[in-house]
Structure formats: C-alpha cells, structure tokens
A and B are shown apart, each in its own frame.
Chain A
Amino acid sequence: MSILVYIEQSEGKIKKTGLEVVSFASALAAKTGEGDVVAVALGTISNDELAAVGSAGASKVLHCSDARLDAGVILAHASAIAQAFAKVGSKTLIMAKSSLGDAVAARLAVKLNAGLVSNVVELPNTDSGFKVKRSIFTGKAFAETELTTENKILAIKKNSVDLKTDGGSAAVESLEVTLSESDFNSKITATERATGEVLLPEADIVVSGGRGMKGPENWGMLEEMAKTLGAATGCSKPVSDIGWRPHHEHVGQTGVKVAPSLYIAIGISGAIQHLAGVNSSKCIVVINKDPEAPFFKAADYGIVGDAFEVVPKLTEALKAEL
C-alpha cells in the first residue's frame, strides 16, 4: 500500500520541508515494507521541479495544477488531498508541520477519520501498535503518542529528518479533483511577502538580534553577516513589538519556531520564551556583553563582548573562511 505525502510549494518551488517529508515517508516505507511513496502537489509547478522529488524517494507525484491552489486556501487544499488519499487508496498521510500544514491536517483528520499526530520528530515505533514521538511544550519535552485509528496522519517537525538524496526521478501524473464553490469561501485580497530573502522558518542559518542592538539603524551589521552566511534574519519579541523589525521575524514562544543548523543570537538575553523558539537548533552561538546573560546556558559557543565590536570582526572572519 502506498504512503501519501503532501508536499507544499511556494511560488512554484517545492519547499525544503517537502523533501524532508518525502524522505521520512521513504524511511517509513522501508521500515514497514509498506509499499511505495506517492507525493501530491497542488498549484502551478513545473514538471522538472516535481520529478526532482524522486531524489528523496517518491516513485510518483500526483499533480493538481489548478492555479486557484497556488495560494494556501485551507479548505480547497484539504479537499484536494482527501481526494488524492482516496484515489491512491492509502492509509497513511505524511506532511510537514507548518502554518498551512496544521490547518489542512486538522481538517483532513476529521474528513478521513484519521488519528493525527503533529510535531513528529522520529520514525514511528511499530513493534507493537503504532507509537509516535512528538515534541511538546514548545520543544521542552517529548511525548510518546499511540495512534489507534486505521487511517493515520503524521505532521513532521522541520529539520528532524535526514534528507534522502539517492532516489531516482519521480513519474509525474496529473490529478483531477472536484472542488466546490464552498472550498473557496474566502477571498485573498492582497499578499505581502518578503521576496528574494531567505525565509526564516525554512532557513538553515539564522542571525538574530535583540534589544542589545539598540535600534533599527544598527541592523545593517546583522544583515551583512546574514548575507555572508546565506542566512535569514530574526529578532526577539520586544524588537518586533517596538517596530524595529517586521513581525514575521519574531522568534520564540509566541513567534516563529526555528530549527536551523546554526542560530546566532546577538544582544538577546535568552529569556525562556525566546529559547522556546530556538531550542531545536543544532548549534547555538551567543554574542552578549553580559557574561551572566541566561542565553549562554543554552549555547554551544559564546563570545562575551560588545556586539558593535564583535559582529563586524566575525563577519570579516567568516568572509575570509567561506
């Protein structure tokens, strides 16, 4: 039986999390001997882009090219995926935990009468029953969860899967779905999106600044470092509250939860609510002039010093090395 994987796109490109979830499904299929991996993608995307998903282990990609699905219309996406699930005759749906993914997964859980586990961090344990480990309390703990339904949906936490890259090219098949008027009962009137930048939730490296940066005029320094590293920029909550930086850059308990390979925190004290958004990072570097700043306790590497002195020097050293 095939495992179905919902892969998200943004402006015609499959997101990195798309490859992660296909890799997860491939590993699951290999573990349970449960057949192949079929991905489903919605909206305008090129065939080459879709076929490339094969590298992560998908044998086939079902593509519904209806341009109304380019935007993340929650009901319409849920309806299309439910139809793909029925068509493939699958019992397991794998997808990414994301702002759109959450909303779609929840509706699908009810539609498909499927148990849903979100924030999954490991392959399920299928020795007896179907047990899944998920991250809870914003990364501060894990829960083992038992899925008791025949149909199952797992939403995978980003950066918790090793990417598979040695698969082949996937066959792309068009998917016909019937969408009703009521699937589009909201109207998107405008979209504002930072383009050309590395998006924070997807970034592999994040350079983040706090109130210690003193003012928005000093962000050039962080942007320069971010550019050198191909990183996204982030900030603490007070920084976006005062309006030094846009709201979508705010990291933490009440903001974006990031899980990059490298998180560089500059002039951020490391309040527990900020740490809640970064505790899944692989490596944390802290630059703070106060040696007692709590962030040092959560860091792998630290420099005690004035950001205005350390950051330009560090950027130069990075430029020399990269």
Chain B
Amino acid sequence: MKILVCITHVPDTTSKIQFTADNTKFDSTGVQFIIGPYDDYALARAVELRDQTGGKLTVLNVGEAETEPTLRKALAIGADEAIRVNSFPKDSFFVAKQIAHYAKEGSYDLILMGRESIDFNGGMVHGMVGELLDMPSFSPVMKLDVDGTTVKMAREIEGGKEMLEASLPLIAGCQEPIAEWKIPNMRGIMSARTKPLNVVEAVSSETQAAATSYELPPAKGAVKLIDKDNVGELVKLLKNEAKVL
C-alpha cells in the first residue's frame, strides 16, 4: 500500500503566541516547532499500517526550509521518504492545491492528515484535497483499519461516534485514539539521516483567504477568590455579577 501523510510544522503546544511589531507575521523567536499533534496521530497510524501491509510511507509538508527538521523527525518515527513543497503555506486552498498535485502524481491508496492544524485550526485541507482529487474524505477519524481494499473507520460525531465502511483510495483527517504517538528511537534517528528528503517547487500561487494581520486577545483580569466555607457567595456572583446562571 502507498500511504501519504501530510504534516504541519507548528509551534509546540506550550508556546507563547506572539507576532512581529507590525502584527503581520508570527514571531518565532524562542519557539520550538513540532509535528502537529493530530498529524502525529496520523503518522503513528500510518507507520503501523505500513508495517502490517508493507509498501511505502511518504510524508509531505508545504513549507520553507526551516520545516526540514520536522520532516526528519517524521522520517525518524518511521516514514520512508519525505517531500517538502518549497513555499510558505499562504492559505488552506494554496496548501490543498500543492498536496493534490503531488498526490495525483503519486497515486496513493491512502492519504492521512490531521483533523486540523493547531495554528490555523481550519480542519479544511483534507476536504479540499478530496474534492480536488475527486476522492472521498472523512474527518475526524478516531479508528482506521484496512482489510484488502475495505477501510473500516470510526468517525467522531457530537456526543459519540459512527462506524463507517468505505473503499480505498480515500483521505482521512485523524485524531486520537487512532494510535499512540510514537517517539523516535536511536535507530530511527540514525536512519532518518540517510532517507530521501526531496524538495519540489510549488505548482500554483493562487490564494483565496490569506491572513493580512494578527492580534492577541485582551489580557484576562485577576481571579476573584471565594472562601471555601462561603460557597453561597460564588453562586450570588455567578448570578448577579457574571450573569451566567
């Protein structure tokens, strides 16, 4: 089976989010970058499936040169090859176009992505790629098994889940508990150095909804502490001050 996993290169979940002085760019000073947590689930499941069925596992990122360590990490976790589409990811549509173009050439059986990126939280790229390739897309997928060409999935719905069956090829936006995050081991890290990481150029530059400026939410006021022996006071405040009861 040929599997493609699309990964984002995003600030660590503990990062303080800041922008440059003119509020037009993310300020990456002191920020550590990781594979998007949902993409990490997709990758972990893809490694398991590749180990079960054989075949080849490719990871892809649309990003500039600074994302290469993140791609190397994906190789260390178990991907066989990496592709970087050399361009700043301007918006979801732009990214989807790049992925669709690459995926079409590669004719993959299964394309796994994260449910959503944790920078832009769009939850859109998988659906866009699906439509561009005329391939079914499912998200958020919390379980995925492949049996021949049949794919059995569980998809989260509000307040529960539904079990689904579909056929390869398809696209899934993944979330836990599809697999456990994998930590690269020494052998993985060593072999990642020599696995191929190919850089390809972007195929189009069309954007539809690019961000023009950023802002941070107003700072939160200080907490009002209520004595634990006076819980009635809290109820009054919730009712009369916060007006939420």
Interface residues of A (CB under 8 A from B): 10, 71-72, 74-75, 78, 97-100, 102-107, 109-111, 114-119, 131-132, 135-149, 185-194, 197, 199-202, 205, 229, 247-248, 253-254, 261-262, 272-273, 276, 279, 282-283, 285-286, 296-306, 309-310, 313-314, 317-318, 320-322
The answer on a CB contact under 8 Å between A300 and B209 is no
Q: Does any Cβ of A come within 8 Å of B65's Cβ?
A: no
User: Closest Cβ of chain B: how far from A2's Cβ, in Å?
Assistant: 22
B121 within 8 A of A: yes
The answer for the CA separation of A216 and B223 in the assembled complex, in Å, is 29
| Min distance, Cβ B95 to any Cβ of chain A, angstroms | 11
Tell which of B120, B136, B156 touches A99, judged by Cβ atoms closer than 8 Å: B156
Interface residues, chain B, with chain A CB atoms under 8 Å away: 11, 13-14, 17, 19, 37-38, 92-93, 96, 116, 118-128, 130-132, 136-140, 142, 156-167, 173, 175-177, 207-217, 220-221, 223-228, 231-232, 234-239, 242, 244-245
Q: Is the CB of B214 within 8 A of A75?
A: no
A192 CA / B105 CA spacing, docked (Å): 38
Query: Can you list 9 A-B pairs, Cβ within 8 angstroms, ordered by A?
Result: A78-B131, A105-B127, A144-B214, A192-B163, A200-B159, A247-B177, A248-B160, A261-B244, A309-B228
Distance (whole angstroms) from the CB of B38 to the closest CB of chain A = 7
Q: Which residue of B lies closest to A296 (CB)?
A: B223
Residues on B with C-beta less than 8 A from A283 are: 238, 242, 244
Given A106-B124, A117-B209, A199-B159, A186–B242 Cβ distance below 8 Å? no
**Closest beta carbon of chain B to A148's beta carbon, Å:** 6
Q: How far is the CA of A116 from the CA of B125 in the complex (A)?
A: 11
Contact (Cβ within 8 A) B175 A254: yes
Taking each of A74, A131, A132, which has the highest tally of chain B beta carbons within 10 Å of its own beta carbon? A74
Q: Do residues A314 and B214 form an inter-chain contact, with CB atoms below 8 A?
A: no
Can you name the residue of chain A whose Cβ is closest to the Cβ of B234?
A301
Complex Cα–Cα for A301 and B173 (A): 37
A10 to B162, CA, bound (A): 13
- Say yes or no: B137 contacts A103, CB within 8 Å: yes
Partner of B127, one of A103, A140, A190, A286: A103
B-chain residues with CB within 8 Å of residue A146 when the two chains form the complex: 209-210, 212
A303–B238 Cα distance when bound, in Å, is: 13
B interface secondary structure, majority: mixed
Provide the residues of chain B in CB contact with A102, threshold 8 Å.
116, 122-124, 127, 139
A139 to B211, CA, bound (A): 16
Interface-centre pick from B37, B210, B239 (highest chain A CB count, 10 A): B210
Q: Point out the residue from B14, B166, B209, B227 that lies within 8 Å of A186, measured CB to CB.
A: B166
A118 touches B123 (CB 8 A): yes
CB distance from B244 to the nearest CB of A (A): 4
Q: Which of B212, B232, B242 contacts A131 (CB 8 A)?
A: B212
Given contacts A141-B17, A253-B13, A322-B245, list 19 more A-B pairs with CB under 8 A.
A71-B162, A75-B136, A78-B131, A99-B157, A109-B128, A111-B131, A115-B93, A118-B121, A142-B215, A146-B212, A189-B165, A192-B161, A193-B157, A229-B245, A253-B118, A254-B175, A300-B221, A300-B242, A318-B245
Q: Enumerate chain A residues within 8 angstroms of B217, measured Cβ to Cβ.
A: 139-142, 279
Q: Which residues of A contact B162 (CB under 8 A)?
A: 71, 188, 190-192
Closest A residue to B126 by beta carbon equals A106
B8 to chain A, nearest CB (A): 12
Q: Complex Cα distance A286/B120, Å?
A: 28
Q: Which of B92, B142, B166 has the most CB of A within 10 A?
A: B92
Q: For the complex formed, measure the closest distance between the CB of A259 and the CB atoms of chain B, giving whole angstroms.
A: 13
In the complex, A321→B244 CA distance in Å? 13
